[in-house]
Amino acid sequence: MTAVRIPIAEIEEMLRTKHLLPPVLADVRIDGESLVFYFSGDPESVEAVSTASSTGIHRRRRLRRKRNRMKTRGWEIVARIVNSKGQQCSIYKPFVDALREPNLSVENQKAVVERILRSNGNKPSTESIQYFLGNTLEYLKKNSSGNAQSPGLDNVR
Alpha carbons 7 and 122: distance in angstroms, whole number: 46
DSSP letter string over 34-51? EEEEEEES-HHHHHHHHH
For residue 89, the surrounding DSSP H or E stretch is: strand 88-92
Nearest by Cα to 99 from 130, 127, 133, 122: 133
Amino acid symbol at 28: V
Each of the 157 residues of the chain gets a pLDDT tens digit; together they read 999 999 999 999 999 889 988 888 888 998 888 899 988 887 665 554 544 444 445 555 666 666 668 888 889 999 999 999 999 999 999 999 999 988 889 999 999 999 999 998 899 999 999 999 999 999 999 988 755 444 444 444 4
